[in-house]
Amino acid sequence: MRIDRSTPRADPEADRDARAGAPAEALALSQVSGVLRRSWHWIALPTLVAAAGAVAFVQIVPPRYTGEAKLLLESREAGFARTAQERAEQPQPIDEQAVASQAQVVMSRDLAREAIRRLKLVGNPEFDPTVEGLGPVQRALMLVGVAQNPLERPAEDRVLDAYFDRLLVFPAGKSRILSVEFRSKDPALAAQGANTIAELYIASLEAAKVDTARYASTWLGGNIEALRSRVAEAEAKVEAFRARNGLVAAGGAAGQPLSAQQLAELSSQLSHARTLKADLDGRVKLIKEMIKDGRAFEIPDVANNDLIRRVVESRITLRAQLALESRTLLPAHPRIKELTAQVADLDAQIKAAAERIGRTLENDAKIAGARVESLQATVDGQRDVVVKGNSSEVQLRALEREAKAQREQLESYLSRYREAAARDAESASPADARIVSRAVVPELPSFPKKLPIIGLVTLMAFLLSAGAVIARRLLANPGGAPRADAPAFEAAEAAPQPQPVRFSFPEATPPASWPKLAEVASERAPVRTPAAPQPPQAEPGSPFDLGILVGRLSERPRGEGGRTVLVLETAPAKRGTGRPSAKGLAETLADTLAEQRAVPAQVLAVDLDGPASDPDDPGLTDLVAGDAAFLDVIQPVPGSRLHRVARGFVDSEVLLEEPQALAITLEAMSEAYDWVICTQRLRHGSATRALLEAVAGRMDSVVIASNAAADDPDLVTLYGIAEDAGAGQVLVAQDSVAQPAADLSDEPMPLRLSAA
């Protein structure tokens, strides 16, 4: 939303005196075409002169041709020509900075001098100013010491300025393509210059790569021999130290010293002996427990013995016979005793065999324990030997690291030397750019472009001439009658004043005799009911005017801006004849305020919820919605100080949706006008109350135009809403005295406004 706050508020008397003689300062958009038509000769003459000058210019200026060559920046080195490390690494992308840097390389002075020599620009009158001799002006400047003698400079340096003026190198958009443009009066020279510069640039890239490879091979070749001697010396120190300290390696992948390998082997044997001893001890313990439990025949070593196996089989046979005989014979029978004795003898044999095996295992366990002790002693001795050799091993590793580093450096130098030597040749490393489009001899000149230059000059001359005419019109003081868009007070003073249209609204507020209205309203908010003024005396043959209402509205103290009044019309106004009036209270009040002679005032009538406007005729809702500006919505009334603002094309709901924008709009209007009369109409539903609540708090006065009785619930509700919203004062305007509550009929009385 655009809010025009350019109208300052000052002393009314001084403001009227200043504005009375001020010229019109605004120029309506509808008047621009008329001003331009009246001053067509001031526009046509400069435009034709400029067009003729442009035609003469394009005919006189010698044409220049442009040759264009395009270069693509890319890495052209083949994959097989790079090392494995270079192939593994991702190449650095060519970004915009790299392309811009290469553009500056193309425009370098060294490349320019070589191009000047190849193109033979020295002695060309287009590039060398000394070919045709020195002019008198230049000679005079040389005499005074202002200019330098061009003949004192080298021939190529004299051509450099003209060369760079005609050379243009730029990247094509965000791509990796460089465009090289060279301009000349000779089309063949323009094409040859662009191609020559592109070829020289590629040759310079190739030469730079060759120089880099040659420098690398020279430097590496001088350092390789010295590095070889250092590698041999470091390896000799390693071997001598190893032999002197007995750090001889036994070979193998590990490469450990012999003492360390021996310690590892002894540790392995000791671990195996301990494992064997523990196994034997466990087996002996198990055999003793099984013999004690009488399960010697279950011992694996006993069960696997052939002799014991036969004894066990015999025992099984005897126990079977014993069981068979026990069925018919008593335990004391000789046969039973014989079989029992044989079974016991076999058990004794099995137990004796198990005990022998246990003793054998005990002997093996003792032998294993002795072996463990022997190996432990040997390991302890070897550990002392290894510990003593650790310090020597540390020094040996340091010497080996030094020798290894020297060896790796030598191998790296040798690899790089071979690569540099392979690239140290012409065309061994291609340039990282190639020509993708060579320049051809242009057929059409690039300058001047005749039609565009003539059209642009003509258009600019037309626009400047039209702007000068409009500026002259704005700066001039016409001194005549006011324009249609002039302020209301100028139009009012210049036009004949019409007779005021007066409606009879003598009662400006509910009088004190309305106890019911005051009583009901006091329940909602404090009621400020001033004493009712005396009704004006009607002149013979004339209706009542709005003097009393204007007086009550003027009693409110005035702040920095003008007075704001909201008129809520409950029904269309009526004449005494019963015919609807063309104007309601709000419109009549605005006309009356604008027509008063004693104190001229600038009045703005604002329609809040009237009929929608045409899309081409914006109003208040368009202004609040941000679709229009103040100058678009305020329409002056010819012959009056009154300005009007229609409702607008946008729906009235925007006034409730944008309360902040509505407040700013009303504030700006009050700053620019002495009176702001807002009109609202009573409608069914909650829209009227919501809009009244949103607007009443911004008003100095709220006038409810209604002939309803004082205790009418609708009137009381509207009065209370205005009071609660924070209006400065709330007035009820009637064109007849309200009837007492007792005389009202039982039927509901609609809010109406009847003629006096």
* pLDDT tens for each residue of 136-192: 777 777 777 776 766 677 778 889 989 999 999 999 888 899 999 999 999 999 999
- Kindly report whether the global pTM for this prediction surpasses the value 0.75: no
In a domain, 689, yes or no: yes
93 DSSP 8-state letter: P
In a domain, 321, yes or no: no
Helix axis angle for 96-106 and 187-244, nearest 10°, is 120
Q: How many separate domains does the chain show?
A: 2
| Residue after which a domain boundary falls, among 473, 504, 525 | 473
**Rounded CA separation 258/256 (Å):** 7
Q: Residue range 628-642: average pLDDT? A: 88
pLDDT over 80 at 295, yes or no: no
Same domain? For 728 and 605 the reply is: yes
pLDDT at 118: 93
pLDDT over 60 at 721, yes or no: yes
| Residue after which a domain boundary falls, among 473, 505, 523 | 473
State which residues form the domain around 561: 546-571+584-733
In a domain, 238, yes or no: no
**Rounded CA separation 500/598 (Å):** 14
Helices (runs of H) and strands (runs of E) counted in the chain? 25, 11
Same domain? For 454 and 564 the reply is: no
pLDDT over 80 at 351, yes or no: no
CA 100, distance to chain mean position in Å, is 26
Same domain? For 591 and 720 the reply is: yes
Closest CA to 549 of 673, 681, 703, 752: 703
In a domain, 631, yes or no: yes
In a domain, 52, yes or no: yes
Q: Exposure pattern of 594-611 as b/e (b: 16+ CB <10 Å)?
A: bbeeeebbbbbbbbbbbe
- The answer to whether the beta carbons of residues 719 and 540 sit under 8 Å apart is no
Q: Which of 84-93, 153-162, 489-498 has the highest mean pLDDT?
A: 153-162
Give the CA distances from residue 588 to residues 91, 289, 346, 495, 585, in Å, rounded to whole numbers and listed in that order: 85, 132, 147, 19, 5
Q: Could you tell me the end-to-end alpha-carbon distance of the chain, in angstroms, rounded to an integer?
A: 43
pLDDT at 756: 29
Same domain? For 588 and 695 the reply is: yes
Range in 57-61, 418-422, 439-443 with the lowest mean pLDDT:
418-422
- The answer to whether the beta carbons of residues 501 and 590 sit under 8 Å apart is no
**Rounded CA separation 484/115 (Å):** 71
Q: Residue range 596-620: average pLDDT? A: 85
pLDDT at 581: 46
3-class secondary structure, 670:
helix
In a domain, 615, yes or no: yes
Q: Following DSSP, what letter does each residue of 374-392 receive, concatenated?
A: HHHHHHHHHHHHHHHTHHH
Q: Which of 317-326, 635-644, 682-691 has the highest mean pLDDT?
A: 635-644
pLDDT tens digit string along 558-602?
666 788 999 998 876 444 433 444 578 888 888 888 887 667 788
Range in 53-67, 100-114, 544-558, 669-683 with the lowest mean pLDDT:
544-558
pLDDT at 523: 33
Same domain? For 564 and 685 the reply is: yes
What band does 323 get if pLDDT is binned at 50, 70 and 90? confident
pLDDT at 415: 82
What band does 358 get if pLDDT is binned at 50, 70 and 90? confident
Q: Residue range 449-460: average pLDDT? A: 93
Same domain? For 604 and 726 the reply is: yes
pLDDT over 80 at 374, yes or no: yes
pLDDT over 60 at 675, yes or no: yes
- The answer to whether the beta carbons of residues 155 and 127 sit under 8 Å apart is no
629 DSSP 8-state letter: B
What band does 489 get if pLDDT is binned at 50, 70 and 90? very low
Closest CA to 484 of 2, 139, 34: 34
Give the CA distances from residue 183 to residues 119, 168, 174, 448, in Å, rounded to whole numbers and listed in that order: 13, 9, 24, 12
| Helical (H) or strand (E) element with 72 | strand 65-73
Q: In the chain, what's the furthest Cα-to-Cα distance?
A: 175
pLDDT over 70 at 377, yes or no: yes
In a domain, 711, yes or no: yes
pLDDT at 366: 84
| CATH number of the structural domain spanning residue 678 | 3.40.50.300
pLDDT at 88: 52
Q: Following DSSP, what letter does each residue of 124-183 receive, concatenated?
A: -TTT-TTTT---HHHHHHHHHTSS--GGGS-HHHHHHHHHHHTEEEEE-TTSSEEEEEEE
- Which residue carries 């009007």 as its tokens? 644
pLDDT at 476: 63
**Rounded CA separation 396/289 (Å):** 58
pLDDT over 70 at 30, yes or no: no
In a domain, 698, yes or no: yes
Asked if the peptide bond before residue 448 counts as cis, ω within 30 degrees of 0, the response is yes
- The answer to whether the beta carbons of residues 198 and 71 sit under 8 Å apart is yes
**Rounded CA separation 408/723 (Å):** 98
Q: Average pLDDT over the chain, rounded to whole?
A: 75
What band does 33 get if pLDDT is binned at 50, 70 and 90? confident
What band does 256 get if pLDDT is binned at 50, 70 and 90? low
Q: Which of 46-60, 472-486, 681-695 has the highest mean pLDDT?
A: 46-60
Range in 10-19, 281-290, 351-360 with the lowest mean pLDDT:
10-19
Determine the Cα angle at 651 with ends 646 and 657, to 5°.
Answer: 110
